[in-house]
Structure 1
Amino acid sequence: MSYIGHAVLDSQKIQTIALDLLRKRLKPFGFSGLTVTAEKDFDDENILRLIADVKQIVPASDLIEATSETMNALRKQGDDRFVYLTAVPATDDLEDAEE
């Protein structure tokens, strides 16, 4: 599935759009930052991998909503690459939660 003729936003623009959304959506989970990478998936399609730094585990339903909102915002700007969003708590935070 190729997206010929569609905009491909640069990493800085994606970061700006995604940060604004994820700060709001993931705030309850201690959102503290975002890493954005453009990659190829298993099917050799262009994708965006977003890794959100959080303090707590994010429930799947919240992660799905955040992914959907981010993809919709990027599509409005013409970039319709698939977004893989992962929310990764710091290792220390996970160890504290298990105790």
Structure 2
Amino acid sequence: MPGLNGGPAFSHNESFSFQVATSDQAETDRYWNAIIDNGGEASACGWCKDKWGISWQITPVALTQAVTSLDAHVAKRAFDAMLTMTKIDIATIEAAIRR
């Protein structure tokens, strides 16, 4: 990543990150696995770091819609479900919404 390489005096941290909005589980899995399987590191709530230390949040649109629901109970259930995850599982979010 030469465009972001400031040399050893400037290391990557969470103040700079990318968010990828995914349309379905297959796309979520594809991005997540591409990062993790190529020297990356999983974190919580859809966050991971690539092999260069850049933070990424792989966020299904279904999650964003759920946690911003006008129904506060739905939003809380979706948010609480997200807190239990590393990679976001859309089926689990949808199940939390239906409870």
* TM-score for the superposition, normalised by structure 2: 0.24
Give 1 or 2 for the bigger CA radius of gyration: 2
Structure with larger RCO (C-alpha < 8 A, sep 6+): 1
Structure with the higher fraction of residues in strand conformation: 1
